[in-house]
Amino acid sequence: MLTLYHNDMSVCSQKVRLCLAEKALAHEAKHLNLRAGDQQKPEYLTLNPKGVVPTLVDDDVVVTESVVINEYLDDAYPKHPLKPVDPAERAKMRWWTKQIDDSIFPATGTVSMSVAFHHQYTPEVLDELTRQRGPGYRARFALLQKGTDNPNFSDAIKRLYKMINDMNVALERGPWLTGEMFTLADIAYAPYITRLDHLKFLGFLDKNPRTAAWYERMRSRETYRAALAAQFNPKYLPLMEEKGREAWPRVKALVGLA
């Protein structure tokens, strides 16, 4: 019996939901409200001591870290394989998934929080997070409240534009990131392009037609609809769109699209 602890709009959770859907694996989904602090409840911390989503429980096996969870699912449930057999192709796939942990996830967090999500935090939630995470949290949050003037914003947005450009180059070889096969690499990137879409930053695709076509192919999959689109939180989308549109002139200028 598989159980996934997740959150509807969390990019890391979306990655695992898409993997479960591609592998047609039935599971129980337990949704955590990250703004209410469900991820810090003691019973959840016993599963995931970092207090983050997702966490997969497979009977007595507990797996954390979305990249590890997806590899586990593909190893433990070999039907509908999502990893190339050839070692060189497999290495290529892992090069893509590693970029996310190294820099794309942190850059996405900086951009999403600076542009939109910091507006969702009430003073009470901020007090609670500061209590949980220590006094340094308030200073870090103050940077996010600066929006596009956050000193970390420029590097983060440039990293995400580089991701789009890198994908465009790789997609010269075939419809998916490692070539002909749809793999865990494609699954890993779907939530990140979706996030740029929700922030209305898809002008990034104007000079990257192969990445644009990849996103269309991805969105037309039934698994994307079920695992991502059908679960987008309607409370988040208008905020992301409104604040993203306000930020776009600055974003465009930072990546040289103005």
Ligand X SMILES: N[C@@H](CCC(=O)N[C@@H](CS)C(=O)NCC(=O)O)C(=O)O
Contact with ligand X (CB under 6 A): which of 4, 18, 20, 52? 52
- The least distance separating ligand X from the CB of residue 171, rounded to whole angstroms, comes to 24
What is the size of the binding site for ligand X (CB under 6 A)?
A: 13
Q: What is the dihedral angle through the alpha carbons of 106, 101, 190, 252, rounded to the nearest 10 degrees?
A: 40
Q: Which residues of 164-185 are buried (b: 16+ CB within 10 A; e: fewer)?
A: beebbebbeeeebbbbebbbbb
Q: How far is CA 45 from CA 31, 36, 135, 163, 186, in A?
A: 15, 15, 21, 32, 30
Q: Does 194 bind ligand X (CB under 6 A)?
A: no
Is 101 or 242 the residue whose CB approaches ligand X more closely?
A: 101
Is 133 or 250 the residue whose CB approaches ligand X more closely?
A: 133
Is 11 or 171 the residue whose CB approaches ligand X more closely?
A: 11
Strand 61-64 versus strand 28-31 pairing type: unpaired
Scanning 100-183, the segments in alpha helix (DSSP H) are 105-115, 123-133, 136-144, 153-170
Q: Does 10 bind ligand X (CB under 6 A)?
A: yes
- The least distance separating ligand X from the CB of residue 95, rounded to whole angstroms, comes to 17
- The least distance separating ligand X from the CB of residue 172, rounded to whole angstroms, comes to 28
Contact with ligand X (CB under 6 A): which of 22, 39, 161, 218? 39
Token code pair at residue 75: 């190893």
Q: Does 144 bind ligand X (CB under 6 A)?
A: no
Region of 51-59, 79-87, 118-126, 240-248 interacting with ligand X (CB under 6 A): 51-59
By CB under 6 A, the residues from 156 to 185 that bind ligand X are none
Asked if residue 199 lies in contact with residue 244, where contact means CB atoms within 8 angstroms, the answer is yes
Is 82 or 212 the residue whose CB approaches ligand X more closely?
A: 82
Region of 45-53, 80-88, 119-127, 147-155 interacting with ligand X (CB under 6 A): 45-53
By CB under 6 A, the residues from 60 to 89 that bind ligand X are 65-67
Contact with ligand X (CB under 6 A): which of 4, 20, 34, 185? 34
Q: Token pair 């090069």 is at which residue?
A: 95
Q: Token pair 């290529």 is at which residue?
A: 92
- The least distance separating ligand X from the CB of residue 35, rounded to whole angstroms, comes to 9
Crossing angle of the two packed helices 153-170 and 209-219, in degrees rounded to 10: 80
Tell me the sheet residues that pair with 55: 5, 64
Residues 6+ apart with CB under 8 A from 63: 55, 56, 57, 69, 72
List residues near ligand X by CB under 6 A.
10-12, 34, 39, 51-54, 65-67, 101
